Amino acid sequence: QSVLTQPASVSGSPGQSITISCTGTRNDIGFYSHVSWYQQRPGKAPRLLIYDVFNRALGVSNRFSASKSGVTAFLTLSGLQVEDEADYFCASYSGGGNILFGGGTKVTVL
Amino acid sequence: EVQLVQSGAEVKEAGESLTISCKASGYKFTSYLIGWVRQMPGKGLEWMGTIYPGDSSTRYSPSFQGQVTFSADKSINTVYLQWTSLKASDTAIYYCARPTNEYGDYENWGQGTLVNVSS
């Protein structure tokens, strides 16, 4: 199955805002409102940040926000901090109990 | 507190069989799906499928159907991921994770099990 398409890397300076895109198709992101976002720091398990397109998971900073338009979902990190350096993955339900992940985006804080 | 504790790292040779485990605690084991996710070295996450411990029903990603087997033991709150004949390309970290519902949203993750297969 195809993965969702994310940019390989995004960077920004401390305090800035960055946005990561995640592009799917009409059969996944475009059809279902079950898009989630994960943060993965080196050597660690992924951590759920966002579920159902824009809902923050428990304990997640309100500097993280998300949305969806058509077949593309977006994750915005506001007030970028050094601790935000990590890999970020999107995921979408694609029907029949199946889940697709994005290829991942490496966020660098300059 | 929900916890998923996975078995330790494995070093195997191609052609060998392997079973890794994921022990759950802190919630009603039979009421939630558990999923498996692969992460090959330096690569992204790949959803492998899910098992529902309540009745051991399974769903596999087309990419992993026939390549692995999920099972569960309700008596010890543990799910398993099994290979009958490993390949070098199975080298990866494997995570178990508990979604909040059937649509994904993996809220709780195990620490991962590194499987290293030499050819």
B82-111 confidence digits (pLDDT tens): 999 999 999 999 999 999 888 889 999 999
Q: Which of B95, B102, B103 sits opposite A45 (nearest CB)?
A: B95
Are residues B45 and A46, on separate chains, in Cβ contact within 8 Å? yes
Percent of chain A with pLDDT over 90: 95
Are residues A91 and B45, on separate chains, in Cβ contact within 8 Å? yes
Helix (H) or strand (E) segment spanning residue B18: strand B18-25
Q: What is the predicted pLDDT for the residue at B104?
A: 84
**Eight-state DSSP code of residue A5:** B
A8 touches chain B (CB under 8 A): no
Residue A38: pLDDT band (50, 70, 90) is very high
Are residues A99 and B62, on separate chains, in Cβ contact within 8 Å? no
A31 touches chain B (CB under 8 A): no
Per-residue pLDDT tens digits for A53-98 = 999 999 999 999 999 999 999 999 999 999 999 999 999 999 988 9
A13 touches chain B (CB under 8 A): no
Q: Which residues contact A44 (CB under 8 A, 6 or more apart)?
A: none
Task: Scan residues 33-72 of B and list those with Cβ closer than 8 Å to A.
Answer: 35, 37, 43-47, 50, 59, 61-63
Kindly report which listed range (A37-41, A105-109, B18-22, B98-102) carries the lowest average pLDDT score: B98-102
Give the integer Cα–Cα distance in Å for A80 and A84: 7
Q: What is the predicted pLDDT for the residue at A2?
A: 55
Q: What are phi and psi of A52, to 5 degrees?
A: 50, 50
Q: Tokens in use for B12? A: 């195997």
Question: What is the four-CA torsion angle of A77, A83, A86, A91, rounded to 10 degrees?
Answer: -40
Q: Is the pLDDT of residue A1 over 60?
A: no
For B30, the 3-state DSSP assignment is helix
Interface with chain B: mutation pick from A44, A93, A99, highest number of B CBs within 10 Å: A99
